[in-house]
Structure 1
């Protein structure tokens, strides 16, 4: 019996999708043009040491925050003068308040491996600018609102 060959994962393993529908009737659509993608999930750790530890430190996780930093290449249909609808949803949410400011998103391994997550986040939309030869890009940071929940990868079998 042979051992299957393991391959190193690439940074481009992630697929980002935005819910263009509602929570009750989701319409998951690909966020196109992702050039960089960096998810982070940082726990808050508090020192819970006491004398009973005989000098050994103890710690407790008391909270968790998450965010996604990504760079998007802008996509537009210049014949009808519109940007890609997923990009527009993110951009307009940046300027809104309340529920309109939150993006329901999910991201997953694009090869169908088990890693996949879903949550709601507030987007920070910042065009990159650049020299006259640069492509149109925007830096987006999604700051999590509530839990980032592990889900079954919808691309898995």
Structure 2
């Protein structure tokens, strides 16, 4: 499965870039899935729903299915967070998986960068960052795209992964 990451510090524009890339790349006829890393507790369920009650009762997994979507919730219950490779193996086959976050993993990435938060560039110290999408001009030893030039960024990623 082809994977490409979007990395960057908080408020760098990662989620907006991933959202635009999914729309752009699927609009070109490719299938895309995403994996998003969260540093905080995440719950996609709501208190009082049947599925939440199943989890609260101790279920390890709850599969919720409807005519529109399927959601599989797995409780770690103290087990370590699964590695990225394990998470990727759970996905159905697609043309491309875009990964948001997972800075320390070794897959190829583009860094989303905004000057205003004042964070350092990741690209200068990480050889897995192949390009930077920035809101300000930068001189680097890798391609630099305008953060809002979604088509050019998509072109770059698709070429990188051979699509």
TM range (shorter): under 0.3
Which is richer in strand? 1
TM-score scaled by structure 2? 0.20
Greater RCO structure (CA 8 Å; 6+ sep): 2
TM-score scaled by structure 1? 0.21
Highest Rg: 1 or 2? Answer: 1
